[in-house]
């Protein structure tokens, strides 16, 4: 099974061009499914529709979020399509046929207010190299709305401070160019000039944002930084890695930005993904109306 999973992950990389985080998620999901099969003395070849349903019920009993259950089923479905084709059983029995994903709860993303964003961005101490780095990352994240994985993957040449744009590789290795504002440009420029040279030990390192060892900062490392600053800023909302991305999109729409332009900046393949932010904006309008209109 491990060999099959390895072949499948390689297929996701080479033929479908999926991002590293997506490939790793699929691999973890399939390893978990493989362990379930082993415990129940089954295998990929012998698994039936009943086996897959039993696995989904097991996930539900474990209290996993509906989105997690849906993602694991999607990974299993994609794996079986690959397995049956590669194993020469293109017309063979697929135990995932006609299995539908659990209905996802529609949850609006958490968004920070403009004041909360300002408090968060003001938290790092720009007088030392790590503080310069953290301020530059937070400013750049809010200014561009890039994903955290895209942010930590940036190399120095990807950030054009003179013209004010960032080039990043999104999902499916699709490059896009996103503009950044003057405040973010100043913060990044200061970090590049004074902060990064103090952190980078190897001149051959091209990573834009590095840790105290001089190596590329990881997604997990940056997320710890965000949580620390959110706490010091007194932000009580439960924030996630994409909170600043969500705030970026919502604040743009709040101020009249075109939905298609926001979609392009976020790198969404489908505009319906971007439209969730309009629901937040409409919700805010209702709150303002209810609070301010004399006959609300």
Marked catalytic residue, from 135, 147, 185, 251? 147
Cα–Cα distance for residue pair 235/232, rounded to 1 Å: 8
100 given a catalytic annotation: no
212 given a catalytic annotation: no
Marked catalytic residue, from 77, 171, 215, 219? 171
Dihedral sign, Cα of residue 117, residue 119, residue 121, residue 123: negative
Alpha helices in the chain (DSSP H): 2-14, 20-39, 49-61, 66-86, 114-121, 129-144, 148-152, 182-190, 196-199, 219-232, 243-254, 259-266, 271-274, 276-292
Cα–Cα distance for residue pair 223/160, rounded to 1 Å: 25
Q: Which two tokens stand for residue 62?
A: 């474990």
Marked catalytic residue, from 196, 245, 246, 251? 245
CA atoms within 13 A on the CB side of 205: 19
Element (H, E) at 216: none
268 given a catalytic annotation: yes
Chain-centroid distance, C-alpha 167: 17
242 given a catalytic annotation: yes
Q: Which two tokens stand for residue 76?
A: 């299993």
Residue 105 sits at φ, ψ, to 5 deg, of -75, 140
At residue 239, the 3 state secondary structure works out as coil
277 given a catalytic annotation: yes
Marked catalytic residue, from 176, 215, 219, 268? 268
293 given a catalytic annotation: no
What are the residues facing 216 on neighbouring strands?
210
Q: Which residues are catalytic?
A: 147, 171, 242, 245, 268, 277
């Amino acid at each position: 099974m491990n060999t099959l999973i390895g072949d499948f992950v390689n297929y996701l990389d080479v033929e479908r061009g999926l991002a590293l985080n997506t490939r790793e998620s699929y691999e973890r999901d399939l390893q978990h499914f493989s362990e379930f099969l082993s415990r129940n003395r089954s295998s990929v070849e012998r698994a039936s529709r009943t086996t897959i349903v039993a696995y989904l019920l097991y996930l539900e009993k474990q209290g996993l979020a509906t989105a997690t259950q849906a993602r694991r089923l999607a990974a299993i479905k994609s794996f079986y399509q690959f397995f049956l084709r590669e194993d020469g059983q293109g017309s063979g029995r697929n135990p995932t046929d006609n299995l539908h994903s659990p209905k996802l709860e529609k949850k609006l993303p958490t968004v920070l207010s403009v004041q909360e964003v300002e408090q968060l961005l003001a938290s790092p101490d720009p007088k030392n190299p790590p503080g310069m780095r953290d301020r530059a990352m937070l400013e750049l994240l809010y200014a561009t709305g890039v994903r955290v994985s895209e942010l930590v993957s940036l190399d120095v040449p990807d950030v054009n401070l003179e013209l004010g744009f960032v080039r990043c590789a999104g999902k499916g290795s699709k490059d896009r160019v996103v503009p950044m504002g003057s405040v973010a440009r100043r913060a990044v420029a200061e970090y590049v000039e004074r902060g990064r040279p103090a952190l980078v030990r190897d001149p051959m390192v091209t990573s834009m944002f590095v840790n105290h060892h001089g190596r590329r900062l990881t997604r997990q490392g940056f997320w710890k930084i965000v949580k620390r600053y959110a706490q010091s800023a007194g932000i009580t909302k439960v924030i996630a890695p994409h909170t600043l991305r969500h705030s970026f999109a919502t604040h743009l729409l709040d101020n009249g930005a075109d939905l298609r332009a926001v979609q392009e900046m976020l790198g969404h393949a489908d505009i319906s993904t971007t439209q969730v932010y309009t629901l937040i904006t409409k919700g805010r309008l209702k709150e303002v109306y209810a609070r301010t209109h004399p006959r609300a």
